[in-house]
A and B are shown apart, each in its own frame.
Chain A
């Protein structure tokens, strides 16, 4: 259990599925060296198979008694999809096959393969919404519990779940243990990697890249114990932000405002069925648990209140007038932590990425003969 917990809230009513968050993350963290297929952040169409394929059916998490459940490790080709490239070089170089633009493999699956398909019959009652997913930085992480090497840890400072890449040897029990399948295997370095909640940015007072770049401004970031933060208000005060698949017992710290609005259904004559809604509440219950009823009720009541009185703190929060108001990151806190631990505030607070504990000579890394880190442990 960490001292504080950083959390994110995503308002699904505002997500337009533009994948700007995905790209922000991908270009910052995962576009190289065995991470090509990794999406630490992805946006999937729900209902849909998701990424990796059918992640909700691959086990992991805990049972009601608190015992870790077995899981299945997805296959790169079948379940994630080979990260294909295109024949740019032959196209640009005017070679024989340059008339056609094609992937260098025949793709059979990939992220957003079933984008915008959704469920239901078109046009009567088809429906879908977008579900952005990152690592949930759980309070009781399945990945951490499953790791036989203690290579996964939760930071004391802010509850960010990280892989100690020095200890990780790529056994992949973490992938089986994570019910969200939000931890990935890097086959090139034979280690697991995952969303780091942009901790090097957060420590400098910047929000995670996915949150900052979000054009729909759906994401709020802050500490759960900060009563002034939007995440506190949305999660604890109004109880409208709910964890994804909390039934796995991992106590996720990424929360969602469930989608409240959907078009009405058409009848056989093509007329609107008054009072109907295309989005089955069962789907939302499956994702967010029975609390979703209360959350939707509160959201609708506050919307009504706003219409009638013009006043609603919750609606003001969700409208998010000022982008900067969406992130309360308490940079002073990180500077204080660095000071207390006698660390350089500009260096990443966590040094567990570096140095082998029992390597007697000390393990030193030098980047271009400049910055040096690590040492005797």
Chain B
């Protein structure tokens, strides 16, 4: 009976997924995720990645290049073998940008896969960009870089020495040289943990055993990631929410200048899906977008936020013209009702002394936006439905 219920539920989910904004991905059960042939049979789904435009960075050339950024479509598939999960992301990129070691103003292409550390409850999921307090995310980043000679395998410089001016000689120096030779030519793969903006911290103790790679095929990249279903940071089972980001070096993309998907649900084949999570991530926002737009205007949202890409540029609050693409309805609702739950930092505080969109109180960012909890539920639903329509067209 239980089995039957699960399959009915799964069927229902599939039916609603067909109409939904985001696809439902099924990670097929395979014998070994490291077997390259598994991708031949894997079913790829289209996930749309939206330009992240909440805040404007201060790179003049990059801002010019990304002014008219469009959403990208990526093909995503997943498999698991009970111990590890593997993802394959394919996206179009006409120019192959590999960061060399003799440049200061060029950037590499790259991709990242983000996992929520706590995945049982769909609401609230961590904030899509960088997690949020009490809702950490794990981010796997792979950049296309030339092999880098790194005298310190830990990717920091504390141990570097100057051979001409060192107090270390003889055997110790020879040992150092041997170590350098062994550690040189490392690949740019990083794993981070984050609990909100500006907390992104690299996990350097090798406690995450993952492996990412990027391969350029004519017209675009194939990015792959393999990581354990369970480690001290995440415990993935049933339905796994993931988010995918890609960077384009030609557009000087890095950090916030990227294309980002919303949370996407991946069901692990052979495990019981989390129906609430699937429903949250695959169904459209309820509410009347047209009425929501009216409510947004009458409540003055556009006084501080840039709602359409064409709105005046010097916005005070974070720009929302792509928020509908990468934000979940639950997050948008939370931001209306509790604006300080997640505060997107702009430039450092002292850059916006006159018009801060947040203040720092007891070390926490407190939004200067008033909470709109006085609005009735229907109006909030309508505004959320409207905000979900705000997103760039796909290329």
Contacts and interface: CB of A to CB of B under 8 A. Distances in A.
A343 interface: no
B303 interface: no
A32 B164 CA distance: 10
Interface residues of A, number: 67
A144 to B, nearest CB: 6
Interface in B141-184: 145, 148-151, 154-160, 162-165, 168, 172, 175-176
| Category for how many chain B residues contact A | 35 or more
Interface string B275-298: 000000000000000000000000
A353 B158 contact: yes
Most interface-central of A80, A150, A373 (chain B CB within 10 A): A150
Given A145-B347, A147-B348, A177-B58, A368 B207 contact: no
Interface string B352-366: 111000000000000
Query: B interface, by DSSP: helix, strand, loop or mixed?
Result: loop
Nearest to A27: B165
Contacts of B156: 165-166, 189, 353-354, 365
Contact of B145 (A37, A150, A173, A190): A190
A356 B201 contact: yes
Contact of A189 (B150, B164, B168): B150
**Max chain B Cβ within 10 angstroms of own Cβ: one of A68, A147, A185:** A68
A191 B203 contact: no
A359 B203 contact: yes
B104 interface: yes
Contact of B168 (A184, A190, A361, A368): A368
Given A169-B255, A360-B205, A148 B345 contact: yes
Contacts of A172: 59, 104-105, 254
A365 B101 contact: no
A219 B351 CA distance: 31
A145 B195 CA distance: 21
Nearest to A175: B104
Nearest to A1: B350
Contacts, number: 172
A149 interface: yes
B157 A185 contact: no
B61 interface: yes
A66 interface: yes
Nearest to A38: B104
Contacts of A66: 350-354
Nearest to B175: A368
Interface in A37-80: 37, 59-60, 62, 65-77, 80
Interface string A344-377: 0000000001101111111101011000010000
A307 interface: no
B378 interface: no
Contacts of A359: 201-205, 207
B3 interface: no
A87 B319 CA distance: 54
B256 interface: yes
A11 B103 CA distance: 35
A116 to B, nearest CB: 27
A358 B162 contact: no
B202 A71 contact: no
A368 B105 contact: no
A187 B350 contact: no
Given A146-B348, A150-B198, A356 B59 contact: no
Given A145-B348, A368-B172, A187 B100 contact: yes
A342 interface: no
B103 A68 contact: no
Contacts of A88: none
A329 B89 CA distance: 56
Contact of B104 (A32, A68, A73, A165): A73
Contacts of B336: none
B162 A31 contact: yes
A205 interface: no
Given A70-B60, A177-B58, A190-B188, A358 B158 contact: no
Interface in B36-75: 57-61, 63
Contacts of A175: 104
Most chain-B Cβ atoms within 10 A of its Cβ — which of A72, A169, A360?
A: A169
Interface in A182-229: 184-191, 193
A66 B57 CA distance: 15
A148 to B, nearest CB: 6
Nearest to B190: A169
A140 interface: yes
B2 interface: no
28 contacts: A27-B165, A65-B354, A66-B350, A70-B58, A73-B104, A75-B104, A77-B103, A146-B351, A148-B197, A149-B255, A171-B254, A172-B254, A176-B59, A184-B104, A187-B99, A187-B100, A188-B148, A188-B149, A190-B148, A354-B156, A356-B203, A356-B204, A360-B232, A361-B207, A362-B205, A363-B204, A365-B156, A368-B172
Which 9 pairs across A and B sit closest by C-beta, in order of nearness? A70-B60, A145-B348, A361-B205, A68-B351, A358-B201, A76-B104, A73-B105, A171-B255, A66-B353
Interface of A: 27-28, 31-34, 37, 59-60, 62, 65-77, 80, 82, 140, 144-150, 165-167, 169-173, 175-177, 184-191, 193, 353-354, 356-363, 365, 367-368, 373
